[in-house]
Amino acid sequence: MRCSMEKMDFHIHSDYSDDGSASLEDIVTEAIRWGLVAIGIVDHVRGDAAWLEEREARISGLRKKYADDIAIFSGIEVKVVDDQGTLEVEDRALHKADYVVASFHGTPEHVSRQSANGDHTAVVRWWCDSMLKLLEEGGRAQIIGHPDRVLNASRLTVDPEKFGQLLEMATKSRMFLEWNPVTTYPAQPFVQELGKKASANIIYASDAHTIGELADAYRGHTSFEEGMVERGNAALLALLKSRQATRLR
Ligand SMILES: [Zn+2]
Ligand SMILES: [Zn+2]
């Protein structure tokens, strides 16, 4: 057990998300209570959102208020909409947060149609193609959110050759990949495999949507026993600090 490791969580939803219930300040004080040194408050955005500026102003206030206790970053979680890794986000939204999490949330229409017609490999093909693009180019995102949840949820498997190719790409990519041991089910084969490679940029992300889920993520330190996220967390923290300093200058 690596109790000396600094705890960070780069994916916590607030009540600005339609499926989140925690207030910004409750998230901050709960994170401090569990000894976290850095957090990212990440809310769902489609294209742009009218509340982003207000959220930024409030996060900025909390950043100052709790400056001695914790580093606070702001993020947006956006959907991958096709097999090219295209993200559903407008450029102007990017200036209202420190970083972007690209996530697979539901399948594009043509993939759903193919699946409905009995082609169960359509989802796997979509995921593999989009993952490759995101790992190669990243585009406007810095993080891939719960990378293989869409496969786990449907119990789909990727052929070993393609799986190996994706792992190889992930070790060379500038993208950070989330490990969500608390809220993602049942296992995360891709991220677990990637974790065995020394150069992997894996970060810890609870993807908590409530204060209860946030507490669950830290009770007993279970999420931090493997040290798999130590390197990625430190590298992402440095990147976010510089992005935030540039944005707020
Ligand atoms: Zn998500
Ligand atoms: Zn999320």
Residue 220 burial (C-beta neighbours within 10 Å; 0-12, 13-18, 19+): exposed
Nearest C-alpha neighbor of 83 from the set 139, 41, 125, 51: 125
- Identify the pLDDT of residue 1: 42
Answering whether pTM is above 0.85, one says: yes
The Å distance, Cα 238 to ligand 2 centre, comes to 22
The Å distance, Cα 89 to ligand 1 centre, comes to 15
The Å distance, Cα 10 to ligand 2 centre, comes to 10
Res 184 pLDDT > 70? no
Res 234 pLDDT > 70? yes
Taking each helix axis as running N to C, give the angle between helix 121-137 and helix 160-172, from 0 to 180 degrees, rounded to the nearest 10: 20
The Å distance, Cα 125 to ligand 2 centre, comes to 23
Res 242 pLDDT > 80? yes
User: What residue spans define the domains of the chain?
Assistant: 7-248
- Identify the pLDDT of residue 222: 57
Res 150 pLDDT > 90? no
Average pLDDT over residues 22-26: 98
Nearest C-alpha neighbor of 214 from the set 30, 8, 20: 30
CATH 3.20.20.140 fits 7-248, yes or no: yes
47-76 pLDDT tens trace = 999 999 999 999 999 999 999 999 999 999
Ligand nearest, relative to CA of residue 144: 1
Position 119 confidence tier, pLDDT thresholds 50, 70, 90: confident
Position 189 confidence tier, pLDDT thresholds 50, 70, 90: confident
Average pLDDT over residues 6-15: 95
